[in-house]
Homo-oligomer: A and B are copies of this chain.
Amino acid sequence: LAKSTHVVRNQPGTELAAEAMPVQSYANVMRGVVKLSKVLEDGRQQIVGLQFAPDFLGRLYGKESAVTAEAASEVDLCRVPRAALEKLIADNPALEHRLMQQTLRELDEAREWMVTLGRKTASEKVASFLYLIATHLDPTTGDRRAFDLPLTRSDIADFLGLTIETVSRQLSKLRAERIVEITNNRHVEVPNLGRLKARCG
């Protein structure tokens, strides 16, 4: 396996094209965050998923979905040639099983986010986003969390179905209430994860 793969570093904004077009390779996310998004004809955009290490990237069985993958932060990908992966799967049923597990998890996450998009207030949406990032980027520590946001305000807005102004205002409000501390616009500290979770609706 090792001989047929290689690691590639990608800067934010790089289109990874893993699902949108016929691709030659699949990939594993080794570091950083990849955003999956869809756009309407008139340009409205919605981020429909975030992938963290060590998620698998790319659609099996060649069916095209109209999802585009893009590096949200700086991202390291371990690319695997399509033929190599498909051979691996044919040989090893456990691998397909593992991919099935990830797909089921992604489906759960998508449905969970549908609740956020459809039924939560702007404030709850922003809190839910911070909670998601806090629990995915820094899964080790206890109730206090610290991390850098891997997304711009514009990306966050596209993930939450809001405008950047509304995201900014809600972040300011959460900061004023000491739910989070924000420095340099990107670095976030959550003193009490439970208090943040309580704001998620």
Contacts and interface: CB of A to CB of B under 8 A. Distances in A.
Interface of A: 36, 38, 40-42, 44-46, 48-49, 59-61, 63, 65, 67, 93, 96, 99-101, 103-104, 106-108, 110-115, 117-120, 158, 160-161, 201
10 contacts: A41-B201, A44-B201, A46-B114, A46-B115, A48-B114, A100-B100, A103-B103, A103-B107, A110-B114, A117-B118
A99 B103 CA distance: 11
A111 B42 contact: no
A158 to B, nearest CB: 8
A60 B161 CA distance: 31
Copies of this chain, tallied across the complex: 2
Contacts of A46: 114-115, 118-119
Contact of A104 (B63, B112, B118): B63
A48 B112 CA distance: 8
